[in-house]
Amino acid sequence: DFPTLKEWVAIESDSVQPVPRFRQELFRMMAVAADTLQRLGAHVTSVDMGSQQLPDGQSLPIPPVILAELGNDPTKGTVCFYGHLDVQPADQGNGWLTDPYVLTEVDGKLYGRGATDNKGPVLAWINAVSAFRALEQDLPVNIKFIIEGMEEAGSVALEELVEKEKNRFFSGVDYIVISDNLWISQRKPAITYGTRGNSYFMVEVKCRDQDFHSGTFGGILHEPMADLVALLGSLVDSSGHILVPGIYDEVAPLTEEEINTYKAIHLDLEEYRNSSRVEKFLFDTKEEILMHLWRYPSLSIHGIEGAFDEPGAKTVIPGQVIGKFSIRLVPHMNVSVVEKQVTRHLEDVFSKRNSSNKMVVSMTLGLHPWIANINDTQYLAAKRAIRTVFGTEPDMIRDGSTIPIAKMFQEIVHKSVVLIPLGAVDDGEHSQNEKINRWNYIEGTKLFAAFFLEMAQLH
């Protein structure tokens, strides 16, 4: 009578679209998960997270965070698992070949929103725990769970909760495990020991708060879009090199030993390129590709608010526009130093244009990079468990994206954090036709069970 992945995927727990219907679904999702953990024998607390103020003045309730505990034997180590049960939006009309909220198996692949990000891995951990229950075996370690429902919306209010629970819920925790990313291969398991951070910028250029007719005003204005395009064009060159002065100053120097870690990773570049449907990457070797995803910063331009982006040929001059870009940060870059460097650079470029428009730069998100010590006990336990279940050594990888909670745990709770992904490189998290392979889901469950046993031995 345990929940299946199909039942969990059927709950439309979208945290990104701030509408009451999805919030209700999120509350239902968290209630179902709390009930599951209770039936597993855990002591469960659903923490009220208050409400979220939206930019349009609306307020929406934040789904509760689940804190659960199973076992408190002082002779055993305590492993805390973090996961999230909210999902990215999914719209069947938009490229999905099956209903995103109906888990559908095709050729051993389980398609559905949240299948790999992150409902499948959370359920795999729960299944591993329940396997010990079913076999009437004592759990080898004490287990804690922290499960949230707002990760895809930026883990709203979670940092405050972690801070508040630092000396309570987290006081007895020895190790933290997250399973919220993917392998770098289709078949070879991985352990993740680092993620990049992210600093997200908005640059607003404003002439007035209404658009202009380009026949009536074109030729006599400093156009906001022309200013903005020049600003955005000044950020990165065609080889991907970021042009903000000083931005590379604090990037950790590259050592020979580190290069060898990239050499050891199996990555079929041709397959990677083909499955990504990209004609050519900026770099030609595996080592360069991995380094530019994991250990060097990158700058991406995301969009322009206020731009005319519909089909057709409207002859408008937008009166104000907001450019959006972000810089993925790596050790040892500092968020506030980056904020100053970017602001100064944009101000310099803008002042050289002698524009009469107003420019405002703001950093709306500052997430730190995270890197762990791969000699920590739980890394050894995860490696041994992978050998047992998969009969191979894992790829030791980093992730080019950002999992803010990893750094929060490291900084606030001061505990070792490991990422043990279960999904394959082509699972399509955040994309249409997200899936988890049946094989990954089942072997992943075994991996977590083996990990508990290894942790018990090594603790």
Ligand X SMILES: NCCCC(=O)N[C@@H](Cc1c[nH]cn1)C(=O)O
**One-character DSSP codes across 282-317:** S--SHHHHHHHHHTS-EEEEEEEETS--SSS---EE
Residues 64-103: x where in contact with Zn ion by CB under 5 A, - otherwise, as a string: ----------------------------------------
10 Å CB burial of residue 52 (0-12, 13-18, 19+) is middle
Contacts with ligand X: how many residues (CB under 6 A)?
Answer: 11
Q: Which of Zn ion, ligand X, none binds 426 (CB below 5-8 Å, type-dependent)?
A: none
Cα–Cα distance, 450 to 11 (Å, whole number): 30
Of 184, 186, 32, 44, whose CA–CA distance to 119 is shortest?
32
Contacts with Zn ion: how many residues (CB under 5 A)?
Answer: 3
Q: How far is CA 82 from CA 90, 140, 256, 316, 446, in A?
A: 23, 19, 34, 48, 18
Tokens of 135: 């076999």
As measured in angstroms, the least distance from the Cβ of 449 to Zn ion is: 22
In terms of CB distance, is 401 or 431 closer to ligand X? Answer: 401
Catalytic residue of the set 14, 69, 151, 426: 151
**370 three-state secondary structure:** strand
In terms of CB distance, is 80 or 419 closer to ligand X? Answer: 419
φ, ψ dihedrals at 143, nearest 5°: -120, 135
In terms of CB distance, is 125 or 212 closer to ligand X? Answer: 125
Tell me the HSE value of 117 on the side-chain side, using a 13 A CA sphere. Answer: 26
Task: Answer yes or no: is 69 a known binding residue.
Answer: no
Residues of this chain, 247-276, that bind ligand X according to CB under 6 A: none
Query: Is 159 known to be catalytic?
Result: no
Residues of this chain, 16-75, that bind ligand X according to CB under 6 A: none
As measured in angstroms, the least distance from the Cβ of 438 to ligand X is: 21
Residues of this chain, 141-160, that bind ligand X according to CB under 6 A: 154
10 Å CB burial of residue 456 (0-12, 13-18, 19+) is middle
Based on the shown chain and the rule CB under 5 A, indicate whether residue 118 belongs to the binding site for Zn ion: yes
Cα–Cα distance, 269 to 266 (Å, whole number): 9
Task: Answer yes or no: is 152 a known binding residue.
Answer: yes
Cα–Cα distance, 224 to 54 (Å, whole number): 27
**How many CB atoms sit inside 10 A of residue 413's CB?**
20
Based on the shown chain and the rule CB under 6 A, indicate whether residue 363 belongs to the binding site for ligand X: no
**How many CB atoms sit inside 10 A of residue 247's CB?**
21
Closest residue to ligand X, judged by C-beta, is 401
CA terminus-to-terminus distance, the chain: 33
As measured in angstroms, the least distance from the Cβ of 419 to ligand X is: 9
Based on the shown chain and the rule CB under 6 A, indicate whether residue 426 belongs to the binding site for ligand X: no
| Residues, the chain | 459
| 59: Cα separation from own chain's centroid | 25
Catalytic residue of the set 25, 86, 148, 204: 86
Q: Which of ligand X, Zn ion, none binds 367 (CB below 5-8 Å, type-dependent)?
A: ligand X
**399 three-state secondary structure:** strand
Query: Is 86 known to be catalytic?
Result: yes
Of 211, 206, 199, 36, whose CA–CA distance to 129 is shortest?
36
In terms of CB distance, is 304 or 408 closer to Zn ion? Answer: 408
Residues of this chain, 162-201, that bind ligand X according to CB under 6 A: 180-181, 198, 200
As measured in angstroms, the least distance from the Cβ of 152 to ligand X is: 8
Q: Which of ligand X, Zn ion, none binds 118 (CB below 5-8 Å, type-dependent)?
A: Zn ion
As measured in angstroms, the least distance from the Cβ of 316 to ligand X is: 30
Q: Which of Zn ion, ligand X, none binds 31 (CB below 5-8 Å, type-dependent)?
A: none
Residues of this chain, 364-423, that bind ligand X according to CB under 6 A: 365, 367, 399, 401-403
Task: Answer yes or no: is 427 a known binding residue.
Answer: no
As measured in angstroms, the least distance from the Cβ of 113 to Zn ion is: 10
Does residue 323 contact residue 202 with C-beta atoms inside 8 Å? yes
Q: Which of ligand X, Zn ion, none binds 192 (CB below 5-8 Å, type-dependent)?
A: none
Interface pick for Zn ion out of 180, 204, 395, 426 (rule CB under 5 A):
180
Cis peptide before 213 (omega within 30 of 0): no
Q: Which residues are annotated as a binding site?
A: 84, 117, 152, 180, 430
Chain residues binding Zn ion by CB under 5 A are 117-118, 180
Q: Which residues are annotated as a binding site for Mn(2+)?
A: 84, 117, 152, 180, 430
Residues annotated catalytic, as ranges = 86, 151
Chain residues binding ligand X by CB under 6 A are 154, 180-181, 198, 200, 365, 367, 399, 401-403
